[in-house]
Amino acid sequence: MPHAARLLSLPARSPHSLSPPAHVANGTSSDHRILTPAEIRCGSRTFLADLDRARARDLQERIQRIQQRRDAGAHRLHSELERWGISIPEPHSRTSTARGSLRYRLDHNKQAAYSAYLPRSGTRLPDFIRLLRGEDASDLSPNKAFQVPDHKPSWGSYRFADQWRNVVRQGVVPRWKDGFPSQDTPPPNHGSARRALNVLIKNIRKGQDEDRYLVLDIDLLGHLDGIFCSPFGAVLKGDKPLSEDARVIHDLSFPVHGSVNEFTVPETEINVHYDGARAIAARIEEVETHYPGLARLMSGDVSGAFRHIPLHADHCGRFAGTIPELGVLIVDLCCPFGWRNSPAAYAIAGGAINHLYSTSKALWPLQPARGTGEFDDKVWCDDHNCVEPAVGPRLEGPATELRAAMVAVLGPSACNEDKFTAWVTRGSALGLDWDLQRRTVSMLQAKIEKARRRVCDLLLRTRASRSQLNRVIGSLRHVATCVRPAAPFFQRLADAQCRIPHVGCFPLAESALDDLRWFRAIVSASHFNSIPLARFTRSQPPSVEVLMDASDVGLCALLPARREYIQVRFDAEERVAAHEQKHGGAFTFGINTRELMSAGFAAITWGHLWTASDDGADVHVRLRIDNTSVVAWSNKRAARDNPYAQMLLRLIALLEVRHGFYLSAEHIPGSENVMADAGSRSCESRAKAVAFTKLCVGWSQVTVPPSSRKLSQVWARCSAREL
């Protein structure tokens, strides 16, 4: 039942104050005895039911006001159409049956009426969009359900309150770079759109019925100003063929160097960044630390995933597309998925809901003091995941407050009731399974197998289309979430996908193939069930330190906790490479690379000692290096334009996953790195060897096995098989 209907269906009660009776507020009954837990729960539910009834009355009044505004707009539209001799007949049926299969249909009656009105009246497209949405001087808002919740006491502290006010009043206003290209003919749709034509029509018809899409005759294309068409496409959704089910896309990044996204000025004021799994894990850990065994999870969802956030009428024409087979022109009137600034618009709306919810708290006066804090919400786009302690009747408030926040911002139909869950100790969020009592998270085995299969298939082909690599990236998304060192390699693959042309299959770069080999090894052997949440938070301080340095002749790594060290003397080939680099040759074997090799040998030699602790948390190993570039490489897991260094980073990350530790790097002044520096230079002369010998009295040397001496060969072995 929709939230509005659910509230309005509450039985009527005689009006009274929402405050409980005095004896209840004081925690005692009328005969001055202490209330039992059952009586407190009953009193809390009565209090919240009264609150819901009060909100239902306000909501009913708001629904009536919204409908009045919509009716006024519809009356102006119909009157204007009739003035030009055009009436809107009954909507065309949505479906028909052809050869035993269900076929979706557009509303050609509405299409015909609007297509007749525009040339007959000479109305500009932006003005017709305003007419369609009921915008006029007395009511500028393009979406009548949206509102600015000024009546909420906490609204004034919302960071993006002004931005949301502008969206409510006029819609999202894109900013364009100079030189936006003109378009003589619309580009053809991608082949996937033709294969998914029935699904494409289904999606457009739904938007047409909701006035999110304006569907016109394609013959009007040359008569409307400001139209720019982008191709439609489709990607697989699950295992069904495109003809049966698909995720429809409006490719606003095509053509390259001449697309809507290319000429959109990016939104920089709103930084859209969210590490969802880590945020939820940190919240569970926080609640379980303060309230052991009492953490509960609930999820909520916005209906329509913000597809109703309107674009300013003057700019809608640049979000158009065609379906030549049907002879139609489609204009998107709302922020589309795939537009570069849509995430910022969604973040404003989602953030508004989150702000209202997270500044609310349990209202029941007898709520135990330790459970009276403000609610907490982790939001990503339209998904809201709440983790709260089951203290007294605290859990009876958040669901109501989250729904109220959604309605306050987006209107009475904002809540997707099918996606609201009960409070649970085991549940799903962000595509992962969470066990709050065991404090673990798991990835479904079916998703793991799908990821492994797709990676292996792509490695066999070594060539890929944009959509094929996109499917692999989609499968690896949860892997990158569960295996923290995977994130940089995942991002590199995503960047590679963006560089692949839209049409055709192309050879994958060797760096992309190496990243795929890294994922093959990870997916084939990593454990994705019951992963401790401590791996996500990574808030523990370093428990192990490794000091390291390198020179032209060798390298050295120290493990002070065990008073052990590694020394590697470069062979003739490596010394020549180092010499050539210093004299203008390739920088692949420069000092940065040589110092990073120290981390590689340390991980190979001591990694087995750094296994995960008893509580499942990865051991935090801190590398202390007197080279800021290597510190950056190590922390970012990226070494741009240096294939050998990038190979070392893949190898180190592979060993992190194998043994259950993770590395971070910190700069150390050279004056504090004397022993490692001396160890890296001890083979330069007898004097330096003697100096190092004096420094390492009481230390033991650990010899690197011959099979591990050439790190490129170690990587080749590891990446060619399971861990």
pLDDT band at 367 (very low <50, low <70, confident <90, very high): low
Is 90 exceeded by the pLDDT of residue 110?
yes
**CA angle, 145 then 140 then 66, to 5°:** 25
CA distances from 503 to 157, 192, 430 (A): 48, 11, 31
- Percent pLDDT > 70 in the chain is 91
**Higher local confidence (pLDDT), 581 or 9:** 581
Element (H, E) at 531: strand 531-532
Helix boundaries (H) for 583-706:
591-606, 628-636, 643-659, 674-681, 686-695
**Quick check: helix, strand or coil at residue 632?**
helix
Q: What's the pLDDT tens digit per position in 673-710?
A: 999 999 999 999 999 999 999 999 999 999 999 999 99
Is 50 exceeded by the pLDDT of residue 27?
no
pLDDT at res. 580 = 83
Q: What's the pLDDT tens digit per position in 370-425?
A: 767 889 988 877 789 999 999 878 888 898 899 999 999 999 999 999 999 999 99
pLDDT at res. 120 = 97
Is 50 exceeded by the pLDDT of residue 25?
no
In the chain, DSSP finds a helix count (H) and a strand count (E) of 23, 22
What is the C-alpha separation between 388 and 681, in angstroms, rounded? 57
pLDDT at res. 20 = 39
pLDDT at res. 652 = 96
Q: What's the pLDDT tens digit per position in 337-356?
A: 999 999 999 999 999 999 99
pLDDT at res. 721 = 60
85-118 burial: b if 16+ Cβ within 10 Å, else e:
ebebeeebebeeeeeeeeebebbbebbbebbbbb
What is the C-alpha separation between 288 and 389, in angstroms, rounded? 8
- The alpha carbon dihedral of 18, 147, 422, 2 has a sign of positive
Mean pLDDT of 273-291: 89
pLDDT at res. 22 = 40
pLDDT at res. 92 = 87
User: Which tokens belong to 572?
Assistant: 């003739």
Q: In degrees rounded to 5, what are phi and psi of residue 533?
A: -65, -25
Mean pLDDT of 196-207: 96
Candidates 203, 200, 408; CA nearest to 304 is: 203
**Quick check: helix, strand or coil at residue 169?**
helix
pLDDT at res. 381 = 75
| Residue 415 β-bridge partners | 302
Mean pLDDT of 294-307: 89
Contacts of 37 by beta carbon, 8 Å cutoff, 6+ apart: none
CB 341 within 8 Å of CB 255 = no
Computed over every residue of the chain, the mean pLDDT equals 88
What is the C-alpha separation between 673 and 630, in angstroms, rounded? 15
**Domains annotated on the chain, with CATH:** 66-142+165-268+307-338 (3.10.10.10), 277-306+346-442 (3.30.70), 444-533 (no CATH), 540-717 (3.30.420.10)
Is 70 exceeded by the pLDDT of residue 33?
no
Is 60 exceeded by the pLDDT of residue 64?
yes
Q: What's the pLDDT tens digit per position in 426-484?
A: 999 998 999 999 999 999 888 999 999 999 999 998 889 888 898 899 999 989 888 87
Is 50 exceeded by the pLDDT of residue 1?
no
How many residues in total does the chain contain? 723
The mean-pLDDT minimum among 123-137, 309-323, 474-488 falls in 474-488
Is 80 exceeded by the pLDDT of residue 297?
yes
Is 70 exceeded by the pLDDT of residue 183?
yes
Contacts of 29 by beta carbon, 8 Å cutoff, 6+ apart: 23, 35, 39
Mean pLDDT of 30-35: 54
CB 611 within 8 Å of CB 661 = yes
Peptide bond into 542 cis (omega under 30): no
- Bridge-based pairing of strands 295-301 and 320-323 is unpaired
CA distances from 718 to 274, 376, 525, 598, 652 (A): 32, 43, 12, 18, 11
The mean-pLDDT minimum among 248-257, 535-544, 604-613 falls in 535-544
Mean pLDDT of 536-551: 88
CB 226 within 8 Å of CB 220 = no
Is 90 exceeded by the pLDDT of residue 718?
no
pLDDT at res. 11 = 36
**Higher local confidence (pLDDT), 576 or 112:** 112
What is the C-alpha separation between 207 and 311, in angstroms, rounded? 14
pLDDT at res. 645 = 94
